[in-house]
Chains A and B, each alone.
Chain A
Amino acid sequence: MIGEILAGLAAVLDWHVLGFLAAGVSLGAVFGSLPGLTATMGVAVLTPLTFWVSAEQGLAMLLGIYCGAIPAGGIPAILINVPGTPASIATSWDGYPLTRKGQAGLALGINALASAAGQLTSILFLAFLAFPIARFALQFGPAEYFGLALLGISLMAGVSGRHVLKGMLAGSLGLALALVGLDPMTAYPRYTFGMSEFLDGISFVPVMIGLFGLGEVLVQISDRHASRAVSSGVIGRIMPKAAEARTMLGATLSGATVGTMVGAIPAAGGDIGSVIAWEQARRTSSDKDKFGKGSLRGLATSCAACNAAIGGAMTTMLTLGIPGDAVSAILIGALLIHGIQPGPLLFANNQSFVFSIVFLLVFASLLIMAIGILGAKPLARILNIPPPWLWMGIVLFGTVGSYALNNAVVDVWAMYVAGIGGFLFRKASVPLGPLVLGLILGPMMESNLRRALILTRGDWLDLLSRPILLVFVAATILSLLWPLIRARRRAAKRNHRLSSDA
């Protein structure tokens, strides 16, 4: 065992491998921080380039892109309220308010630190608990996916902030949009208006770019003279104080655990994981009112969760040969080209290579943490760019990125329509989080409920015989009733005080 660990370490302690890793991380940082360019795209585009180098070098480059892009996606989320990748949507909820308070530096610093902490925690899970986690992931059948999606949907109220009713409306709109395309069970076209472009549904990434990118730009233009304009230009300190770090520790670790587990489940990744982690941290936190207004805990937990999803996805990929998300699907393809077959046999026959991957992930997360901290000051200068230039840049990258995703013009239209929608919603204080949740989770919830019912032959009660689903259902009910219970307990306390005063 020790021999394999050392051999794995030796294979990556090579200037070429480390060089490729650094190049990958830097490229990933660029892909992640530009809205419209995603980690998936970066890995996909650069995979062919790795065919001419050794397996370790190629993998170093691709893992570097993956590990670099996710934390970097938090940078535009924090600075300009535009998530760089879908995983960083929750990062913008507390990150951007911090920027507006003149604490952009601190937000970027926390992003770098919590991201690395989340990823390192998930790598520890990968190194020590790979097979139990993989068994857990395999337990996820249709009923369990439905439960996960149900829990996610129940978070809509929590992520709506003060505007719960508007949030529900936005969430319903998201669910409705998720219905567009071929029916997942019968392949019958729904709401496609006869256009084959809509058969595969509405792509999520262009909608996200539109809602958060273009929508934010339009709001800033219309508020040009109001106080909402961003550039206070103040960056502030970067490193959190010891006391702040202590308050964030628990949230970071819980975010990392949630992120690892959700990341390990195939087809569920950092986007869902970070929202669940954020909402869980908010509920269990003593200062829940600060969440969404610049809470350090909220920021730390979402950053940790979306990066921990990397380790989770890698666990499923390496132990089962099953992709945990879109990026690891491409990584499997790249490994196959190099003659390496991810799966249980890899752990049995080629342990040193598994440890090479573990060490590459560790180095990549340390590297991106260093880049994040050292780069925070220069990056935050983005805030000093005259807003019109910034707006043009966002629209430009948003347009190009939306097209580049599927090479389809319809996605560009989707981006612009979503942008106008995002603008109107912001003006009417309609929260966007629920809409995004509906769009991501709607297809997952629908198709898996219907699959689960096929398996039980339409028997709803039979569904409840699945323990994991029961846990999700119980958590969902609890999360819906919790505000009522809390209100009652408070009222009871107040009555108690009143009566004891009297």
Chain B
Amino acid sequence: MASLAEGQIGVPIVCENKPGASGALAFSYVARRSADGYTIGHAPVEIAIVRSLGYADIGPSDVSLICLVSKTAPALVVQADSPWQSFQEFIEAAREGAGRIVMANSGIGSIWHFNILLMEQGTGARFTHLPYGGSTPALVSVIGGHADAAVAGVGEVVSHVKAGKLRALAVFDETRSGVLSEVPTTHEMGFPIGAPAWSGFFGPGGMAEQRVTLLAKAFKTAFGTSEWAKLCRERGMEALFLDKDEFGAFAMDQQRFFESEIPKLVRLESSE
């Protein structure tokens, strides 16, 4: 995105990775910079989550949101030669098995882990949770037959599904995914569950209106290019543009959702 937007604003965009604490370190770092628009950050879904997890006291209302550029739906996968052919069969087995099905996740408190808890809450299924440090090892453990199933982003599972190593049973979304169009969605099967990952940009709180608009315009132009469309297709992301007001409303909505759901989900898990 940076290399696509660069041409629009006439200054180079230098990307700096600041990993740590689900992105909380990077959010806090950007929020502390001067609000001149020269330091902005990438705002993934975690910006609406980290406060509920207690990693950092920061949320969408503390920063200047610029725009949202993509969304990634979660997908439920099992090993290609597992007995479960459909989401319904899988859920049925998980209800009866009372935790006998082992569900790998990409880390406690990660967005994909929440989706597993939402699935338990919404369908009455119960799993044994097997936490890994990221989606890749979680998916590898399903491919290797060590765990029965996993939930990860559509873009993360699609290559293994296409290679015949994993079978996708459901995409947690309202509409079907572009790269896994043959896989049914939870909503169409009568389970309105799912919390997508998303990706946008933000600056320190109190950025001047016109600077936000300028940056949003540059990102919007970059968003419209065929390169971005191609990248989204390859990574299994849904290209979706929300301007700062829409993004602001969406992000606050997400934060309220996680604030109300996380305590419930944590209780659900500890009661298992």
What CA separation (Å) do A341 and B17 show in the bound complex?
25
Residues of A within 8 Å of B83, CB to CB, are none
Interchain CB contact under 8 A, A141 and B19: no
Contacts of B137 in A (CB 8 A): 266-267
A441-480 Cβ-contact flags toward B at 8 Å (1 or 0): 0000001000100110100000000000000000000000
| Contact across chains for A197 and B20 when beta carbons are under 8 A apart | yes
- Given the complex of chains A and B, what is the CA–CA distance between A187 and B266 in angstroms? 12
Interface of A with B (CB < 8 Å)?
A: 48, 138-142, 184-187, 196-197, 199-200, 266-267, 320-323, 329, 336-337, 341, 343-345, 406-408, 447, 451, 454-455, 457
Tell whether, in the assembled complex, residue A341 and residue B159 are in contact, meaning their CB atoms are under 8 Å apart. yes
> Given that A197-B25, A344-B164, A345-B163 are contacting pairs, would A455 and B130 also be in contact in the complex, using a CB cutoff of 8 Å?
yes
Residue B162 at the chain A interface, CB threshold 8 Å = yes
List the B side residues contacting A320 at CB < 8 Å. Answer: 140, 143, 165
In the complex, are the beta carbons of A344 and B20 less than 8 A apart? no
Q: Which chain B positions have C-beta within 8 A of A451? A: 130-132
A140-B144, A267-B137 are contacts. A454–B130 as well, Cβ < 8 Å? yes
- Quick check: A196 and B21 within 8 Å, CB to CB? yes
12 contacts between A and B (CB under 8 A): A140-B144, A184-B131, A185-B131, A197-B21, A266-B137, A266-B140, A336-B234, A337-B234, A341-B163, A343-B165, A344-B163, A455-B102
Q: Are A185 and B20 in contact (CB under 8 A)?
A: no
B23-41 CB contacts (< 8 Å) to partner A: 24-25, 28
Alpha-carbon separation in the docked complex, A140 to B164 (Å): 20
Interface pairs A-B: 4 shortest CB-CB: A141-B146, A187-B108, A199-B21, A138-B144
B136 within 8 Å of A (CB atoms):
yes
With A187-B107, A187-B109, A196-B24 already in contact, the answer to whether A406 and B19 are too (CB < 8 A) is yes
Per-position binary interface string of chain B over residues 74-95, scored 1 when its CB falls under 8 Å from any chain A CB and 0 otherwise: 0000000000000000000000
Residues of B within 8 A of A186 (CB): 108
Tell me whether B121 is interfacial, beta carbon within 8 Å.
Answer: no
- In chain B between 140 and 183, which residues have their CB closer than 8 angstroms to a CB of chain A? 140-141, 143-146, 159-160, 162-165
A24 to B165, CA, bound (A): 33
Pick the residue among A197, A337, A406 that contacts B17 (CB under 8 A).
A406
> Chain B nearest CB: distance from A227 CB in Å?
44
Cβ-neighbour of A196 out of B16, B55, B140, B144 (below 8 A)? B55
A344 and B165 CA atoms in complex are apart in Å by: 9
The interface centre, meaning the residue of A140, A185, A197, A322 with most chain B CB atoms within 10 A of its CB, is A322
Contacts of B25 in A (CB 8 A): 196-197, 408
Answer yes or no: B56 CB below 8 A from chain A CBs: yes
B128 at the A interface (CB under 8 A): yes
A184 in contact with B140 (CB, 8 Å): no
In the assembled complex, the CB of B127 is this many whole angstroms from the nearest CB of chain A, namely 11
Given the known inter-chain contacts A142-B146, A196-B21, A321-B160, please indicate yes or no for A329 contacting B136, CB distance below 8 A.
Answer: yes
CB within 8 Å for A185 and B133 given contacts A138-B144, A341-B162? no
Q: Is the interface of A mostly helix, strand, loop or mixed?
A: loop
A407 contacts B16, CB within 8 Å? yes
Which residues of the other chain, A, contact B20 by a CB distance below 8 angstroms?
A: 196-197, 199-200, 406, 408
User: Residue of A at shortest CB range from B15?
Assistant: A48
> In whole Å, how far is B251's beta carbon from the nearest beta carbon of chain A?
21
| A321 & B24 in contact (Cβ 8 Å cutoff) | no
Question: How far apart are the CA atoms of A173 and B101 in the complex, in Å?
Answer: 37
In addition to A142-B146, A197-B25, A407-B16, 15 A-B residue pairs with Cβ atoms within 8 Å of each other are A48-B3, A142-B141, A184-B133, A187-B131, A196-B20, A196-B56, A199-B24, A266-B137, A322-B143, A323-B136, A341-B162, A406-B20, A408-B18, A451-B130, A454-B128
| Shortest distance between the CB of A400 and any CB in chain B (Å) | 14
> Whole-angstrom distance from the CB of A168 to the nearest CB of chain B?
28
Cβ of B112 to closest chain A Cβ, rounded Å = 13
Given contact pairs A141-B146, A406-B19, A322 touches B136 in the complex (Cβ within 8 A): yes
Chain A hits for B234, CB < 8 A: 336-337
Once bound together, how far apart are the Cα atoms of A320 and B220, in whole Å? 37
Min distance, Cβ B55 to any Cβ of chain A, angstroms: 6
Residue of B nearest to A199 (CB): B21
Report B40-74 CB contacts with A as 1/0, cut-off 8 Å.
00000000000001011000000000000000000
User: Provided the pairs A185-B131, A455-B102 are in contact, do residues A407 and B163 lie with their beta carbons within 8 angstroms?
Assistant: no
Residue contact B21 to A343, C-beta cutoff 8 Å: no
CB distance from A145 to the nearest CB of B (A): 10
How far, in Å, is B10 (CB) from chain A's closest CB?
Answer: 20
- Contact B136 A407, beta carbon cutoff 8 Å: no
Bound-state Cα–Cα, A142 to B137, Å = 11
What CA separation (Å) do A482 and B155 show in the bound complex? 50
**B133: contacting residue among A140, A142, A447, CB under 8 A:** A447
Which residue of chain A has its CB nearest to the CB of B53? A187
Contact of A141 with B144 at beta-carbon distance under 8 Å, contacts A186-B108, A197-B25, A321-B160 already known: yes
